Amino acid sequence: MSNNNKFSVFFSKHASAPPSTPAIVISPVNEGWNDFSYNFRALITVFSATTEDQVYETSAFVVPLSEWKAERRLGNWISSLKLIGDPSNGVREASAPTSSSPNFLTLLGSESSYRQLSEAFPDPTERNEVLLAIMDITLLQE
């Protein structure tokens, strides 16, 4: 996430509330799923700054990127991230990615997910902030 984005991105093995808002929590789902040993299925939850409530939730594919090795499972990658705050909540944070050097990429689960995002965030600037924070491939440029 770029430093001027208002949404913080957190990762958790189990969907949980973020330590601060506005925030986005990314959690693996169907960890038992084995698609030729790959599993990038995720649940993305966006929390509002004003109410601290969940305002948008969708399925997605989140692919971890690493210069050391290719990670085959999102849950394993999340387990390798640094824990922040209370260890019992399992919330983790990746080093801050940038659009020129992301450490993960995201694609929402369906076309309707993008429509629902537009309904939840009618302001295009705020909607783009969400997509950029999660490193959605539809907005990343070379």
6-25 exposure pattern, b = at least 16 Cβ within 10 A, e = fewer? ebbbbbbeebebbeebbbbb
Q: What is the pLDDT of residues 12-42, one digit of tens each?
A: 887 777 777 888 999 998 766 666 666 889 9
* Cα gap 80→78, rounded to integer Å: 5
* Cα gap 83→94, rounded to integer Å: 9
pLDDT at 35: 61
Confidence of residue 78 (pLDDT cuts 50, 70, 90): confident
CB 132 within 8 A of CB 99: yes
pTM of the full predicted structure? Answer: 0.81
Q: What is the pLDDT of residues 50-72, one digit of tens each?
A: 766 778 999 999 988 876 566 77
Q: What is the pLDDT of residues 103-129, one digit of tens each?
A: 889 999 999 999 999 999 999 999 999
Does position 98 have pLDDT exceeding 60, yes or no? no
